[in-house]
């Protein structure tokens, strides 16, 4: 009770009084959970009432939320110059009564990136998101960062990546977020990125392979491969191979490959049913931008499946996700025809906010 009085919470309701050995805590985003020190476990439900609770309202004037070296949230009262691990808003919690499970999936088109990770404290987790300076990559990186993870935005354009970092820090100045150069169209750049990341001597818990090219005119990369194929698939394939040892050492870890439903509208086999390598990186005469994109997304699916089969016994899962039908983004910018089509479809598409390709089952 002394600790409760210290935080100004000594006036408690007997129904919500915790049993001996229990402690009430809060996550960074305001959800209440309960720690049982006797059995050394935590749970979301109140041990007596079975209710779930969340914090209502902002911190009182003069208070600030901090995180200690162990990742636990504590609170600083700058006016009275004191600190406490008890959230001063705990006297104003509201019940959160989840509905019984239905046949509806847990996440859908109206779910936001922040809602996907709601209640999660990712302090201490390290995440890489490719193509994270805009679109769903940015929203994914931001959600991870605002939930406490150390996030690396791996982007081709370092200037735009640093601007994205600034936008995230503008929402939470203590976010651990940084930008690193990664050009998937150059395998040497992929190698340099992997070397630079390993030099940090940190773990890697989540790798989101999000970057993609769409509707490009036919070009070859410096490695002599068709650009769409290399950026969308081979560059990520090489990146995962180079970071595979770090992922395994960091287990449990996961790889998330952002694919597309368009993988269904193509194939990479010849008339005999054998893999036709010429379809993966076609010549100029055999190139069609939409078909190249579809094939690269099919490669994403096959890669994710095989990666999961090989690494899941070592604690690394691989997930392939579809970000949403006709989602409006800047991926269409390379050809005016697609820009026109996307503009006409924009009123019927999802915005960037409702997407965070994490927490979906492996393919």
Do 71 and 214 lie in one domain? The reply is no
Q: Who has greater pLDDT, 267 or 80?
A: 80
pLDDT at site 106: 61
Nearest one of 107, 137, 33 to 359, comparing CA atoms: 107
Q: What is the maximal distance between C-alpha atoms in the chain?
A: 78
**126 shares its domain with 166:** yes
| Band (260; pLDDT cuts 50, 70, 90) | confident
Tokens 């209502």 found at:
56
Q: Is the pLDDT of residue 35 over 80?
A: yes
Q: What is the CATH number of the domain that holds 197?
A: 3.40.50.720
Q: Is residue 102 part of a domain?
A: no
Structural domain that includes position 201: 113-345
**Which tops the pLDDT comparison, 253 or 108?**
253
pLDDT-derived band at 38 (thresholds 50, 70, 90) equals confident
pLDDT bucket at 283, cuts 50 / 70 / 90: confident
* Domain membership flag for residue 351: no
The more confidently predicted of residues 332 and 125 is: 125
Which of 119-133, 197-211, 285-299 reaches the highest mean pLDDT? 197-211
How many whole angstroms separate alpha carbon 136 and alpha carbon 352?
A: 6
| Tokens describing residue 196 | 């630079």
Q: Are residues 81 and 180 in the same domain?
A: no
In the prediction, which pLDDT does 264 show?
58
The answer, yes or no, to whether residue 121 has pLDDT greater than 60, is: yes
Query: 165-199: per-residue pLDDT in tens?
Result: 999 999 899 999 999 999 999 999 999 999 999 99
Average pLDDT over residues 66-82: 82
- Within-domain flag for 74: yes
Residues 85 and 119 in one domain: no
The domain total for the chain is 2
Residues 108-121 have a mean pLDDT of 74
Average pLDDT of the chain?
Answer: 81
Task: Indicate which CATH number applies to the domain containing 51.
Answer: 2.20.70.10
pLDDT at 101 > cutoff 50: no
Contact 331, 269 (CB under 8 A): no
Whether 126 is in a domain gets the answer: yes
Verify that 195 and 251 share a domain, yes or no.
Answer: yes
Q: Are 171 and 239 within one domain?
A: yes
Is 153 a residue whose pLDDT tops 60? yes
Residue 334 belongs to a domain: yes
Within this chain, do residues 208 and 287 fall inside the same structural domain, yes or no?
yes
350 pLDDT higher than 90: no
Inter-residue contact 175 to 168 (CB < 8 Å): yes
β-strands 126-130, 150-155: how paired? parallel
Do 71 and 153 lie in a common domain? no
> Percent of the chain at pLDDT above 70?
77
Q: Which residue, among 258, 255, 235, has the nearest Cα to 244 in the 3D structure?
A: 255
293 catalytic? Reply is yes
The pLDDT assigned to 100 comes to 45
pLDDT at 74: 83
Per-residue pLDDT at 322 exceeds 90 = no
- Structure tokens that stand for 128 in this block: 């890489």
pLDDT at 201 over 60: yes
Whether residues 127 and 266 fall in one domain: yes
Banded pLDDT at 223 (limits 50, 70, 90): very high
**pLDDT score of 31:** 82
Residues 6+ apart with CB under 8 A from 241: none
Q: Is residue 356 included in any domain, yes or no?
A: no
Residues sharing a CB contact under 8 Å with residue 203, sequence separation 6 or more, in sequence order: 125, 126, 246, 249, 250, 253
Q: Which of 182, 204, 201, 185 shows the shortest CA–CA distance to 128?
A: 204
Asked if residue 86 has pLDDT above 60, the reply is: yes
- Mean pLDDT along residues 112-138: 88
Rounded to an integer, the average pLDDT of 250-264 is 84
68 and 131 share one domain: no
In a domain, residue 208? The reply is yes
Annotated active-site residue in 33, 61, 85, 293: 293
Q: Are residues 214 and 78 in the same domain?
A: no
Note the pLDDT of residue 266.
Answer: 67
Q: What pLDDT is stored for residue 197 in this prediction? A: 98
Q: pTM for the whole thing? A: 0.66
pLDDT of residue 7: 43
Query: Based on the domain organization, do 180 and 320 belong to the same domain?
Result: yes
274 in a domain, yes or no?
Answer: yes
pLDDT given at position 324: 66
Read off the pLDDT of each residue in 149-156 and give the average, rounded to a whole number: 98
């Amino acid at each position: 009770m002394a600790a409760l009085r210290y935080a100004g919470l000594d006036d408690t309701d007997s129904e919500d009084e915790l049993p001996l050995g229990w402690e009430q805590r809060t996550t960074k985003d305001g959800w209440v959970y309960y720690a049982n020190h006797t059995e050394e476990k935590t749970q979301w439900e109140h041990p007596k009432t079975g209710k779930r609770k969340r914090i209502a309202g902002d911190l009182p004037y003069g208070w600030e939320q901090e995180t200690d070296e162990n990742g636990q949230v504590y609170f600083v009262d700058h006016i009275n110059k004191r600190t406490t691990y008890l959230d001063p808003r705990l006297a104003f919690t509201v019940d959160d009564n989840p509905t019984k499970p239905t046949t509806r999936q847990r996440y859908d088109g109206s779910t936001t990136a922040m809602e996907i990770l709601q209640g999660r404290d990712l302090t201490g987790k390290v995440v890489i998101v490719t193509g994270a300076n805009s679109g769903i990559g940015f929203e994914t990186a931001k959600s991870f960062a605002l939930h406490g993870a150390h996030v690396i935005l791996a982007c081709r354009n370092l200037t735009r990546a640093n601007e994205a970092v600034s936008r995230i820090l503008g929402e939470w100045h203590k976010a651990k977020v940084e930008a690193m150069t990664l050009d998937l169209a150059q395998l040497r750049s992929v190698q340099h990125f992997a070397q630079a990341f390993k030099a940090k001597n940190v773990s890697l818990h989540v790798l989101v392979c999000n970057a993609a090219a769409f509707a490009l005119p036919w070009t070859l990369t410096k490695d002599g491969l068709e650009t769409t194929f290399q950026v969308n698939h081979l560059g990520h394939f090489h990146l995962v191979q180079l970071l595979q040892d770090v992922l395994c050492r960091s287990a449990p870890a996961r790889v998330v490959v952002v694919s597309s439903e368009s993988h269904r509208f193509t194939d990479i086999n010849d008339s005999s049913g054998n893999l036709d390598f010429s379809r993966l990186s076609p010549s100029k005469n055999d190139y069609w931008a939409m078909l190249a994109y579809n094939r690269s997304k099919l490669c994403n699916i096959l890669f994710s499946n095989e990666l999961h089969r090989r690494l899941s016994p070592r604690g690394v899962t691989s997930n392939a996700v579809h970000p949403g039908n006709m989602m409006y983004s800047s991926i269409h910018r390379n050809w005016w025809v697609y820009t026109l089509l996307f503009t006409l479809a924009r009123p019927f598409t999802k915005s960037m906010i409702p997407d965070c390709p994490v927490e979906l089952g492996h393919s």
